[in-house]
Amino acid sequence: MIDLKTLTIRKAHEHLKKGDFSARELAENYLAEIEKKNPELNAYLEVFGDVLEQAGAADEKIKNGGGGVLLGIPFATKDNILIKGRRAGAASKILEGYVATYDATVIKKLKEAGAIFLGRANMDEFAMGSSTENSSYGVTKNPHDETRVAGGSSGGSAAAVAADLALAALGSDTGGSIRQPASFCGLVGLKPTYGAVSRFGLMAMGSSLDQIGPLAKTVGDAEIIFNAIRGQDSMDSTTISEKTYSVENLPKKFVIGVPRDFLGEGVDKKVLENFEAGLKKLQQTGAEIRDIELPNIKYSLPVYYIIMPAEISSNLARFDGVKFGAKISGANLLEDYMKTRGQLFGKEACRRIIIGTYVLSAGYYDAYYNRAVAVRKLIADDFKKVFASGVHAIATPTTPSPAFKIGEKTSDPLQMYLADIFTVTANITGLPAISIPSGFAASVDKQLPLGFQLQAPRAREDILFEIGKKFEKI
């Protein structure tokens, strides 16, 4: 048996190169774990039937001396990222039976790198949620405590890596959907700079907010995946060129900014204690901790929950029973639309479509949407000023609490939305952010993972990786 618990991408690559085990044997080990644990965890919606065939092709390449570090590495993929010839449904009944006709750019790049796709991972429907409880196919459970959520919306991807059902995974992050489940499941989660990774082939939720990124066991693994999937793409006009990336050398001493005014009310005491311990770890690496002010950061959650539903109401208009997926027939075309959308969209999707349509409607557009867009710029300007003052990264906890119990917040959407308080700022500003495992909070007989979040200036993922690696070593 291969020790999947301690395996990283780098270690697996070395073992595969040396012939300690084959890509097929590695895939078989993951498939055995999936068979054993997935019925309870519900991390995967589907395991692909050709996994061993993919592994065999990787072994051939390895035998011939080809391929890079991702050759033969088994991945889980979130159910809103298209793989040609595979089902993709964003965990929604409205896309039941839809089969992708092309590869997402990130999938194309990983295929070229020789990665193996194990299956499609569960998620909140159309990425709307912070717990994967909004999936039409049941909640994903947290591998550290199966009575608790794995986070969302990339909860299936996070649970798969945390439970050794995949070595790495792809997720998407619109307001924290990679970083929050990474924190809840004890993983590294990276939300890249807006435009660093192509969104072509990602089912759109909030087009000015969405980014695809990796969930992995270590900062080094996240860096490997990011470098494989990043880059300009003619199919996504928002992608940025290599010229955007800084060629500046990394500083010898990092300055970490802490917005202490933002770390008060509503944050779990254990989370704050863990965060302070994390700052001390950074000081041990030689970093300077500096208190900073972000005057408009307190508006980030309301801004996010106006802009995001507005973009959802536009993006989800295409799912109407005509163009894609399932359909419920009525007496006429209007009834077709109403029955299909009313019965096949889940409650949270309906809630956000209605809110989004409201804030974009005549008479409310200026009062809500336009004002939110203006405040979004103020928040982004605050971050620019802090980085211009000599701060290299901004630190906060990733989440205000450890993973909560399944069902604990489903009856109160506002409580659920507050789980995104620290993560939404990176999506509003377009900045890169990473969540790094920072320890545990004890809960009765379980140890619940906690995450430490760092945000860096635009296109400075290198700063996050460098600080993150130092953080891991202490």
Alpha carbon distance, N-terminus to C-terminus of the chain: 30
What is the chain's alpha carbon radius of gyration, rounded to the nearest angstrom?
Answer: 21
Residue 438's SS3 state is strand
Among 187, 190, 185, 98, which Cα is nearest to 140's? Answer: 185
- What's the rounded Cα separation, in Å, for the pair 188 and 327? 39
Q: 240: which residues sit within 8 A by CB, 6+ positions away?
A: 193, 195, 196, 232, 459
- What is the dihedral sign for C-alpha 248, 249, 253, 258? positive
Structure tokens at 398: 């990733």
- What's the rounded Cα separation, in Å, for the pair 240 and 204? 18
Q: 463: which residues sit within 8 A by CB, 6+ positions away?
A: 250, 254, 392, 393, 456, 457
Query: Is-contact 213 154, C-beta < 8 A?
Result: no
* Residue 313 appears among annotated catalytic residues: no
Strand partners, 393: 256
- What's the rounded Cα separation, in Å, for the pair 178 and 96? 24
* Residue 78 appears among annotated catalytic residues: yes
Of 37, 78, 109, 191, which residue is the catalytic one?
A: 78
DSSP 194: T
Of 22, 177, 183, 300, which residue is the catalytic one?
A: 177
Query: Is-contact 168 215, C-beta < 8 A?
Result: yes
* Residue 177 appears among annotated catalytic residues: yes
Query: Is-contact 117 97, C-beta < 8 A?
Result: no
Of 22, 92, 135, 153, which residue is the catalytic one?
A: 153
The set of catalytic residues is: 78, 153, 177
